[in-house]
Chain A
Amino acid sequence: MKKLFSATKPVLLFLALALTLIGAVPGVSNAAPGDWTLTCQGPAEFCAAVDDPDIYVEVWGWAFKSFEIEL
């Protein structure tokens, strides 16, 4: 049992490292440039009110509409 436990550690570490690296690639499990579905973080009525194509912020060089707007 102890051996099995020890053997799973490197596998767990490898998988965690791999998923972390893959998750950092844009568009894999995260927002891709131009993905306007990830826009407003807030109540629906607020998000509808700020649904304006001119409102956007740039995050890491990409434009995300109304993402970090003060609520």
Chain B
Amino acid sequence: MKAVDRAIVFFLSMIFLFSGIDKVLHYEGFVNALRDYVLVPRGTAPYFALPVIAVELLVGVGLLLKGTRAAAALTAAVTLAAFTVAVAVNHQFGNRGICGCWFTITLAQGTGMHLMQNLLFLGLALTAWNDSRVSRTAPPSGLQTNIQPEQGGLS
């Protein structure tokens, strides 16, 4: 695995872990932010909050472990795609309130820049998924894969 690939995986993992822990620490604020999302039906925000946090934390840990990296990267891509759609719909039709992320640092809004950031994260997650998928299917270096059939075998 190249240094840049390791950096991408580590960066994504830190983003998801920080985001998940941040939401745990500001749980009520996150639920309130979810209530402001157009795509979240009224009254259902508390039921979305826990699964979102759990997925973020699991993806963050899963990216760090080699055995679960591919699945975690794919989950990260799907999650980021869903977040991007939710933020985009809110940006277009909603109150443009707080996005429910980065509470510890600031009160981030679902702006165009936030959408761009999410799309970049999505691109990184897809590259991480592709790399971990390829590295899982590729044979270890030095192993001969082009095995010739034995001469004079069963016919």
Contact = CB atoms under 8 A, between A and B. Distances in A.
Interface string A11-23: 0110111011011
B105 A29 contact: no
A64 B107 contact: yes
A26 B108 CA distance: 9
A12 B124 contact: yes
A23 B114 contact: yes
Contact of A41 (B36, B102, B117): B36
Contact of B127 (A9, A23, A64): A9
Contact of A60 (B4, B105, B127): B105
B139 to A, nearest CB: 18
Between A15, A16, A43, A64, the greatest number of chain B beta carbons within 10 A of the residue's beta carbon is seen for: A16
A41 B4 CA distance: 40
In which size bucket is the chain A interface? 20 to 34
Contacts of A28: 113
Contacts of B111: 29-30
Nearest to A13: B8
B32 A41 contact: yes
Contact of B121 (A16, A29, A68): A16
Given A13-B11, A41-B97, A71 B123 contact: no
B11 A16 contact: yes
Interface string A60-71: 100010011111
A29 B114 contact: yes
B107 A17 contact: no
Nearest to B128: A9
Interface in B91-146: 97-98, 102-109, 111, 113-114, 116-117, 120-121, 123-124, 127
B131 to A, nearest CB: 9
Nearest to A42: B35
A4 to B, nearest CB: 12
